[in-house]
Amino acid sequence: MSLTALDLLLWPFIVGLLVLATHVPLGRRVLARGIIFLDLAVAQLAVLGVVAAHALDLAADGWPTQLAAAAAALIGATLLAGCERRWPQIQEALIGSTFVVAASAAVLLLAGDPHGGEHLAELLSGQILWATPAQAIRIAALYGALLAFMAWRGERLGGLGFYLAFALAITASVQLVGVYLVFASLILPALAVRGLPSGSGLRAGWAMGALAYAAGLAASARLDWPAGPAIVIALAGFALLAGTLLRLAASRGQR
């Protein structure tokens, strides 16, 4: 791979590492709480905010669009946190319903736009290859604050605190890496290392995710594939490999 290609992939890779910094610990919490599809629902709510801003002719990269995405995700997360307290037995059904309603609303808002399908596809698969230093700095600041808040609160984070931190992290990442990669970054590393304790599980999840992002970006540059889907496939492959190796190691240790 040429130096030019490596230069092109540097900032996308840095953005990928920043996404993993929050999404791996959040993904482990999602698995522990048994609300697997929360990330899809909140990501789709953020997409709905972006689509609504687009329908109102707001600048795609402007603060009004960012605020619309954050407001939609935060309002939805607050409502879902309330639902978890009131109806915990049907929480997954409510989360799935939120996703499909938000997705349908986004499709309807874009129905009259001749470029609506293309815009929606970009939000689903992401545009990580076009990540810039300015975007990386912005999400680094936000993720640093979120990680510090989660570390400070620890087990006292609570349901509402978790949902709100989750919504802010997803809002920041979904416009950069897309809905598919947000879900994959949250769930696949967490699934692969689910049997490990907190500290080693986080480190293993981060390492596995970093290798998958590097492999996916390299495959995208080499084979001219869309970067987001390439990284999703890489994450799935590395998660399967890591999970298998960890299970083999655990079974040997029990002999």
116-143 confidence digits (pLDDT tens): 778 888 888 888 988 889 989 999 999 9
Q: Is the pLDDT confidence value at 3 over 80?
A: no
197 or 3, greater pLDDT: 197
Q: Compute the residue count for the chain.
A: 255
Alpha carbons 150 and 154: distance in angstroms, whole number = 6
Arithmetic mean of pLDDT, 207-236: 94
Q: Is the pLDDT confidence value at 4 over 70?
A: no
Average pLDDT along the chain: 88
Structural contact between residues 117 and 110, judged by C-beta atoms closer than 8 angstroms:
yes
Percent of the chain with pLDDT over 70: 94
Q: List pLDDT tens digits, range 165-194.
A: 999 999 989 988 999 999 999 999 999 998
Arithmetic mean of pLDDT, 14-29: 94
Structural contact between residues 192 and 239, judged by C-beta atoms closer than 8 angstroms:
yes
Q: List pLDDT tens digits, range 194-205.
A: 888 888 899 999
Count of Cβ atoms closer than 10 Å to residue 218 Cβ: 17
Q: Is the pLDDT confidence value at 48 over 90?
A: yes
84 or 61, greater pLDDT: 84
Structural contact between residues 159 and 209, judged by C-beta atoms closer than 8 angstroms:
no
Structural contact between residues 161 and 153, judged by C-beta atoms closer than 8 angstroms:
yes
Structural contact between residues 208 and 28, judged by C-beta atoms closer than 8 angstroms:
no
For residue 217, the model assigns a pLDDT of: 95
